[in-house]
Homo-oligomer: A and B are copies of this chain.
Amino acid sequence: MKIVCKQKDLAGATNIVQKAVSSRTTLPILEGILLEASNGTLKLTGNDLSIGIEKKIDIEVIEPGSVVISSRLFGEIIRKLPSSTVEISYEGNKVKINCEHSKFVLTGQDPLEFPELPDVSNDNTFDIDRELFKTMIKQTIFATSQDENRPILTGSLIELADKTLSIVSIDGYRLALRSAAVESENNVKVVVPSKALSEVNKIISSSDSDDNKLVISLTDKHILFEIDDVKVVSRLLEGEFIKYSQMFPKEFKTKVEIDTNEFLNGVERASLLAKEGRNNSIKFIVGSDTLEITSNAEIGSVNESIDIDMDGNELEIGFNPRYIFEALKVIDSEKVTLEFLSSVSPCIIRPADNDNYTYLTVPVRMAN
């Protein structure tokens, strides 16, 4: 293998595929990046067997070939090289990297040992606007579980039916659901690890192309995201997702409309006292015109008072403040509505101006 390419292109591509390289692996070959050069293209691949990322860049191929090289060291070297032309060759298990007055020689590994990315054929494929998908992920991913004891909840349910795409995350204490209309007639119901969704979002954010389409393809076991010349393949999580539609209360007895920012700031300030206390909780006192947020700890107390529009019964209810402000942070609408049934039933938060987002969180028991 012998190639010539631009340092900038190589550094950018390495940054992307490195996200799929595990630093804690029992298979040393997985600590490497696979470089494959042919037909004017270099394909870089990282693969930790759970997620794989592949990116192609245009280069000059003097001699086609492939090699696996230490991801960490290769990335560090490429980033530190001058913004110039880089020549890479592989011969007799040595990878030579030359750029201006710098010459590196690194040990390469056999490309045949590198596990191929799963082939996700394009039978079940649909596409969606990138920015919309990014927003949908942002509004739901924070509610995935970190608890590896219930692996299915560490991912998000992606459901496509009746031309509506829904993404749902549940961590046992809260649920975030975002829906959007799409053009596809497909039917999809899969659970995707949050790591893959997070990487897809980062790649969308860093893309500077004019194309605004994200192509998603599925098999029984895998999902493929295509963004420009980047492919992200992830294993799907196996198992039954929670039947979430049963979780929503059938009715409510208190409905509040409140300014999103005032509410967010009040909850964040009250959380400063909450984390000093034993329960890390804040209390909402819902009155006819104001919502008061209070929290007490040995060192002091806080009272935030916010004007609201309220229908229904007055109510006192306690929450973990993080479960409230994380939702408010991803809602762009100026106002949100809160729905309560009782002080021991979940609270529903929605943007006041549309119904594409629903967030549910359970209250905490309050000390008397």
Measured CB to CB, the residues of A under 8 A from B are 70, 73, 76-77, 80-82, 95, 101-107, 262, 265-266, 268-269, 272-273, 276, 298-306
A80 touches B272 (CB 8 A): yes
B303 touches A81 (CB 8 A): no
Copies of this chain present: 2
A70 surroundings in chain B (CB, below 8 A): 299
A299 surroundings in chain B (CB, below 8 A): 70, 73, 106-107
A105 touches B301 (CB 8 A): yes
B106 touches A300 (CB 8 A): yes
Alpha-carbon distance between A299 and B106 when the two chains are bound, in angstroms: 6
A80 surroundings in chain B (CB, below 8 A): 265, 268-269, 272
A306 surroundings in chain B (CB, below 8 A): 101
Partner of A266, one of B95, B102, B304: B102
Partner of A273, one of B104, B265, B298, B300: B104
* 13 sample A-B contacts, Cβ–Cβ < 8 Å, listed by A number: A73-B276, A73-B300, A76-B272, A77-B272, A80-B268, A81-B269, A101-B266, A101-B305, A103-B304, A104-B300, A104-B301, A104-B302, A106-B299
Alpha-carbon distance between A293 and B101 when the two chains are bound, in angstroms: 10
Q: Apart from A103-B303, A103-B305, list 19 A-B contacts with CB within 8 A.
A: A70-B299, A73-B276, A73-B299, A73-B300, A80-B265, A80-B269, A80-B272, A81-B269, A102-B302, A102-B304, A103-B302, A103-B304, A104-B269, A104-B273, A104-B301, A104-B302, A105-B300, A106-B299, A107-B298
A82 touches B265 (CB 8 A): yes
Alpha-carbon distance between A303 and B303 when the two chains are bound, in angstroms: 64
A300 surroundings in chain B (CB, below 8 A): 73, 95, 104-107
Partner of A73, one of B77, B82, B272: B272
Residue on B with the closest CB to A80?
Answer: B269
